């Protein structure tokens, strides 16, 4: 049953990513692909919260469904890579570096904050 729930949650995560990306794209006036940044940073934070919760002894199947399923469908490394490559091809090397490097640092910080909020006290 868990694999089916992981697959269903993955589809829901992908739908949530599509929705959030649309919201951010409509509000974005910078010319940078901020939707993927918002998605990956919020996904990292949520995964940090989930990981912290699992470290306190929560059920593992819930972690698989929410972490691997929903958050795996929600976050997207491949889109971030393509966006960075597009910025490079457009001659916007600095923007590509800020986009990729900033997302990496912000994602790690968000995940660490999530773990700390739940399990670090």
> Could you write out the DSSP letters of every residue in the chain?
-HHHHHHHHHHHHHHHHHHHHHHHHHH--SSS-HHHHHHHHHHHHHHHHHHHHHHTT--HHHHIIIIIIIIHHH--HHHHHHHHHHHHHTT-HHHHHHHHHHHHHHHHHHHHHHHHHHH--
State residue 120's pLDDT score. Answer: 79
State residue 121's pLDDT score. Answer: 66
Distance (Å, rounded) from C-alpha 72 to C-alpha 16? 11
For the chain, 121 residues long, give each residue's pLDDT as a single digit of tens. Answer: 889 999 999 999 999 999 999 999 999 988 788 999 999 999 999 999 999 999 888 777 899 999 999 999 999 988 999 999 999 999 999 999 999 999 999 999 999 999 999 987 6
Look at the block and give the residue holding tokens 């694999």: 3
Record the tokens describing residue 67, joined without a space: 């972490």
State residue 32's pLDDT score. Answer: 82
Distance (Å, rounded) from C-alpha 89 to C-alpha 50? 37
Percent helix, percent strand, percent coil in the chain, to nearest 5: 85, 0, 15
Largest Cα separation within the chain, whole Å, is 49
Q: Is 92 helix (H, G, I), strand (E, B) or coil?
A: coil
């Amino acid at each position: 049953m868990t694999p089916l729930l992981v697959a269903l949650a993955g589809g829901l995560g992908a739908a949530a990513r599509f929705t959030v990306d649309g919201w951010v794209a409509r509000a974005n006036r910078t010319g940078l692909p901020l939707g993927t940044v918002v998605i990956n940073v919020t996904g990292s934070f949520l995964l940090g919260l989930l990981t912290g919760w699992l470290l306190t002894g929560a059920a593992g199947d819930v972690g698989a469904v929410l972490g691997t399923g929903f958050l795996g469908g929600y976050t997207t490394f491949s889109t971030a890579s393509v966006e960075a490559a597009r910025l490079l091809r457009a001659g916007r090397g600095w923007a590509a570096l800020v986009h990729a490097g900033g997302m990496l640092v912000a994602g790690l910080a968000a995940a660490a904050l999530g773990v700390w909020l739940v399990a670090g006290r």
